[in-house]
Structure 1
């Protein structure tokens, strides 16, 4: 199977999903040839720097701007039309790549390449099957385009919303967001905590802000230090070096009845999630998916306006998480730890929404679409 996966490096989620898909395809079919294209960077590095650089800067400086843009593009036809025109201009840069590589199937893990591939298919520039993997827990109009053979969604709740936007129900697949196969590995909680000098008999809270270490992690951490209960706190700072340098002074030091373990960037998130009792995080799509697989309840802070707020709504509606309101973080955590049944109830609920075999099931879908397309081509001949 020859596969092109088109992604965009806007944060790590889309790229992680692309790597996970590649991982599953190569595991199931070692003879496969799979390439991942950072779409905007491939088309024009300057455009990538302007668009993605601007996006990341807005998240750090003024997330509200991104939230307004998210809302406007959902309802404003003019803005959507401008975006479509820009994507159409850039789309044709992909044609030589597609012709040279001659894929059996193409996959998009971001709205930009989803729209570009839709344009190519609609204009009959390719007949290759196209799959779009939505990496959040609510659909946005930017994801939804004609001529996409399969939409893969994280939860059945999204199916009706996508159908309303004109997509046939039989092309929407509730398979879940693929994660790396490493998330199928089971770790011993006692051993993991022991490696960090932590106790299996004390509640362990894990704080993360995605690969970029975004959100008010330091403020949340300081509020946890005020909690009356005995706690162990693991903080993963990701690629945020400033945050790591600010917090490393607390590493393996006991403050009152709290002990802290600080970790920078790591590819062992699965291991730390399995060792924890509660995840405090911004609600990114991949982070949510990973936590659900690890049956880990969540407490949410600093959602990016727009898609992460929608993700938070999904989690709260299904009693998978609590929301950490500013100035109430300490009391919310104390209430959770005092009424342990709430934590247990959320943990049980994660089992209903966990899709650990999303990658395996996606591969089966890809294989079916490729075979169906091959049969169609033979019928035409």
Structure 2
């Protein structure tokens, strides 16, 4: 299989999904040739720096503004038109690479390259099957493009909404979001706890805010320290070095055993070892938590897509809501004191988990390529 995966590094989820599907292609067909393109960076590093920098700054400092832009994009045709014109101009910058590489299929893990691919197909600059892998738990209008041949969604709730937006039911596939194949590996809880110098028998909480380590993680940690019960705490700070330093100082005065972990490739190991995950509801984090079967308590969703993710989790009993995290110690204590509720959430996780997403998507890719060739 010869595949070109188009992504954008706006948050790690899109890139992680791209890397995961590349690995599944290579596992299923080792003779494949797969290239991942960081689309904006390829087109123009300066544009990439401005766009991604603005995105990251907005979600960190003024998330409410990001939420307003998200909502406007859903309802304001003018904003959608501007986006379409910009992506149309940028699309022609990637056409030479596509034609030179000659992929059998194009895979988009971000809506911007999906729109670029759609433009090129409509302009008859390329004639290659293209799929979009939606990396959240609700659709957005930017994802819906007229020349995409298949949409991969994370859950069946998304199907009717996408149909209402004009997408043909036959090209919507509820296969899930792919995660790194190594994430499926099972780890022994006692071994992980011993490795961390913690007790395998004591309730353990995991706090994280995605790869960027954003959200009110320090506030949540301080709330957990108020718990009158004896718990252990793991905090994953991702690439946020400032947060790592801040929590390391807070840990020094903590009476509860705490381990601060920076960027790590062992999230699955830590999720499997813990009893409750406190997190922002990012698409990839949700997917990983469902696979690990860890109960989720959500806080500080970024307005827009993460709020939609939160709605999905709460609707299906996959999480409890901690709001903005203020005074959440009481809610956490109640949840830990109710094993039946924790088990109910775990059982619900099993219903929505899709650990075979990567292999299932590979089979669809093969089908699309064969249909295109016949």
What's the TM-score once normalised by structure 2's chain length? 0.98
Output aligned runs, 1:203-242, within 5 Å: 203-242=203-242
Contact residue 91 and residue 117 of structure 2 kept, 8 A: yes
Q: In the alignment, is residue 247 of structure 1 matched against residue 247 of structure 2?
A: yes
Q: Distance in 2 between matches of 1:357 and 1:277?
A: 24
- What SS is found at the alignment partner of 1:234? strand
Deviating above 3 A after TM superposition, structure 1's stretches of 4 or more consecutive aligned residues are 253-256
| Residue 191 (structure 1) aligns with | 191
| Residue 356 (structure 1) aligns with | 355
Contact residue 5 and residue 35 of structure 1 kept, 8 A: yes
- What SS is found at the alignment partner of 1:299? strand
How far is the alpha carbon of 1:250 from its aligned partner?
Answer: 5.5
How far is the alpha carbon of 1:337 from its aligned partner?
Answer: 1.2
How far is the alpha carbon of 1:70 from its aligned partner?
Answer: 0.2
Q: Distance in 2 between matches of 1:328 and 1:250?
A: 18
Q: Distance in 2 between matches of 1:254 and 1:44?
A: 47
How far is the alpha carbon of 1:130 from its aligned partner?
Answer: 0.1
How far is the alpha carbon of 1:302 from its aligned partner?
Answer: 1.4
Contact residue 198 and residue 232 of structure 1 kept, 8 A: yes
Contact residue 15 and residue 109 of structure 2 kept, 8 A: yes
Contact residue 250 and residue 261 of structure 1 kept, 8 A: no
Identify the range of structure 1 (25-34 vs 118-127) with the bigger mean alpha-carbon deviation.
Answer: 118-127
Contact residue 7 and residue 36 of structure 2 kept, 8 A: yes
How far is the alpha carbon of 1:248 from its aligned partner?
Answer: 1.9
Segments of structure 1 that go 5 or more residues without pairing to the other structure are 376-381
Q: Distance in 1 between matches of 2:6 and 2:146?
A: 17
How far is the alpha carbon of 1:255 from its aligned partner?
Answer: 3.6
- What SS is found at the alignment partner of 1:202? coil
How far is the alpha carbon of 1:243 from its aligned partner?
Answer: 0.8
Contact residue 250 and residue 262 of structure 1 kept, 8 A: no
- What SS is found at the alignment partner of 1:215? coil
- What SS is found at the alignment partner of 1:235? strand
How far is the alpha carbon of 1:327 from its aligned partner?
Answer: 2.7
Contact residue 296 and residue 347 of structure 1 kept, 8 A: yes
| Residue 83 (structure 2) aligns with | 83
- What SS is found at the alignment partner of 1:227? coil
Q: Distance in 2 between matches of 1:317 and 1:323?
A: 11
Listed one character per residue, the Cα deviations across residues 179-215 of structure 1 (whole Å, up to 9, x for unaligned) are: 0001110000111011111112111110011111000
Output aligned runs, 1:268-287, within 5 Å: 268-287=266-285
| Residue 168 (structure 1) aligns with | 168
Q: Distance in 2 between matches of 1:343 and 1:198?
A: 22
What's the TM-score once normalised by structure 1's chain length? 0.96
Contact residue 219 and residue 326 of structure 2 kept, 8 A: no
| Residue 47 (structure 2) aligns with | 47
- What SS is found at the alignment partner of 2:281? coil
| Residue 264 (structure 1) aligns with | 262
Q: Distance in 2 between matches of 1:284 and 1:337?
A: 23
- What SS is found at the alignment partner of 2:294? coil
- What SS is found at the alignment partner of 2:257? strand
Q: Number of aligned pairs?
A: 373
How far is the alpha carbon of 1:289 from its aligned partner?
Answer: 0.2
- What SS is found at the alignment partner of 2:260? strand
Contact residue 204 and residue 276 of structure 1 kept, 8 A: yes
| Residue 333 (structure 2) aligns with | 334
Q: Distance in 2 between matches of 1:99 and 1:2?
A: 13
- What SS is found at the alignment partner of 1:125? coil
Q: Distance in 1 between matches of 2:84 and 2:204?
A: 47
Listed one character per residue, the Cα deviations across residues 218-244 of structure 1 (whole Å, up to 9, x for unaligned) are: 110000000111101000011000111
- What SS is found at the alignment partner of 1:20? helix
- What SS is found at the alignment partner of 2:68? helix
Segments of structure 2 that go 5 or more residues without pairing to the other structure are none
- What SS is found at the alignment partner of 1:40? helix
